[in-house]
Each structure stands twice: as structure tokens, then as C-alpha cells.
């Protein structure tokens, strides 16, 4: 088993379950375009990937419409949706153990950094992270590979073989592979074993305790 020194975590679906806040915010945005979604579970596919791309992919919005949709999403997300969220059981203990053993814990999320920081602070998890890397509100650095590269640079990681990316969607695996990192897919989030196998995850774990075993 490798002795990883740098542990990069995705946020949504990996550290926290943001289902209520994200799906309600997406539904609010879609309503602006006259699209009513009765079953919010249909919107779970928005958890993880960049928002703008998802509006275009799943609802056929143009690039301009998708930019407007992201703005509408934020109208609901900032005051309400951000904290309609919960930390997965065992996550805080995992972060505590990793930092206590001298490992460097880094956040790498496609969510805007300003939101990610507020969420970690809200749940008192921010102190475990040596660096919080996300996207910018203007849409810069939303692709996972770009976020991971930025996080590695800012955290001063020299040997990529000492780093591992943990996430719950194919984007996390693809981004990690683009940057030459090992990666683990977690099945308690919003991804599937099929997508992890398809994109070549090095590890697939079912629970937070299983995740601890590989780190």
C-alpha cells in the first residue's frame, strides 16, 4: 500500500451530502425558464460536474441561457442552499486522523472557492485543510483537472506519486488521471461503480471507513 502524503478531497458527495441545497437551487433556476421539476431526485445529476455544462447537457440551454441559469441558481444557493447540506458520518474523524498522522489534506472542488470555504467553516472542517482550491465565480477553473493542478501547485506538491484524489464522480477520476494522480471513487456519494471502472479509478470504496484503509 502506498504511503500518500497529500490527500486531495472533492467536496460535494465526498465530504458532505449537498443534495437538498443543490437540487432545490437547480429547480429554482430552471423555473426561470418555465421548466418545472416535480421530483428533485432527477436533479442529483447536477451534483459534482460544473453547473453551466450541466444546464446545457441536461436541459438543452444555450451557453448564454446557461450563464443566466447559473446566476439564478446562486440567487437561491447563497442565502438558502449552501447550508442545506450535511457532513457524511465519519468524515470529520477521518480528517482528524489524517492531519494528526502528518498528512496534508487539500480540497479540490469545482464549486467556487468562496462557497467551499464557507461550507467548510460552517461545519468546522476548515482547520483540517492546508489549502482550499475551487473555481472562480466568473467560471474560471471549473474543470476538475485544472482545479487539481492548481491545488497541487498552491500546496507545493513536488512528487505526484505521493498524492491521491478522492471523489464521487467520473470528473474526479478523469481530472486525477489528467494530472498523473492515483484516485479513489467513493460509492456513498453520487457516482457509480460503472463510471469509476470505466475511467480507471485505482480504488473503489463503499464507506468512509474503507477509505481510511487505503490512506
Q: Provide the annotated active-site residues.
A: 10
Strand pairing class (131-135; 104-112): parallel
Residue 12 and residue 109 in contact, taking contact as beta carbons nearer than 8 Å: yes
How far is it, in rounded angstroms, from Cα 21 to Cα 36? 17
Q: Phi/psi zone of residue 157: left (φ > 0), alpha (ψ -120 to 50 degrees), beta?
A: beta
How far is it, in rounded angstroms, from Cα 8 to Cα 151? 8
Q: What is the CA radius of gyration of the chain?
A: 17
- By the 10 Å C-beta count (0-12 exposed, 13-18 middle, 19+ buried), 212 is classed as middle
The C-alpha cell 444557493 sits at 77
Amino acid at each position: 500500500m502506498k504511503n500518500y502524503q497529500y490527500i486531495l478531497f472533492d467536496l460535494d458527495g465526498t465530504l458532505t451530502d449537498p443534495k437538498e441545497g443543490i437540487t432545490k437551487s437547480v429547480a429554482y433556476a430552471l423555473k426561470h425558464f418555465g421548466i418545472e421539476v416535480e421530483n428533485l431526485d432527477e436533479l442529483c445529476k447536477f451534483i459534482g460536474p460544473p453547473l453551466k455544462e450541466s444546464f446545457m447537457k441536461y436541459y438543452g440551454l444555450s451557453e448564454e441561457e446557461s450563464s443566466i441559469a447559473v446566476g439564478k441558481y446562486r440567487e437561491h444557493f447563497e442565502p438558502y442552499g449552501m447550508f442545506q447540506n450535511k457532513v457524511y458520518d465519519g468524515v470529520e474523524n477521518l480528517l482528524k486522523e489524517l492531519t494528526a498522522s502528518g498528512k496534508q489534506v487539500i480540497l479540490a472542488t469545482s464549486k467556487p472557492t468562496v462557497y467551499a470555504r464557507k461550507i467548510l467553516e460552517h461545519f468546522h472542517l476548515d482547520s483540517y485543510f492546508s489549502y482550499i482550491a475551487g473555481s472562480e465565480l466568473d467560471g474560471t477553473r471549473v474543470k476538475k483537472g485544472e482545479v487539481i493542478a492548481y491545488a497541487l501547485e498552491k500546496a507545493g506538491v513536488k512528487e505526484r506519486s505521493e498524492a491521491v484524489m478522492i471523489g464521487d464522480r467520473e470528473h474526479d477520476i478523469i481530472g486525477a488521471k489528467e494530472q498523473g494522480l492515483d484516485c479513489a471513487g467513493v460509492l456513498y456519494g453520487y457516482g457509480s461503480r460503472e463510471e469509476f471502472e470505466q475511467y480507471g479509478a485505482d480504488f473503489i470504496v463503499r464507506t468512509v471507513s474503507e477509505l481510511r484503509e487505503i490512506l
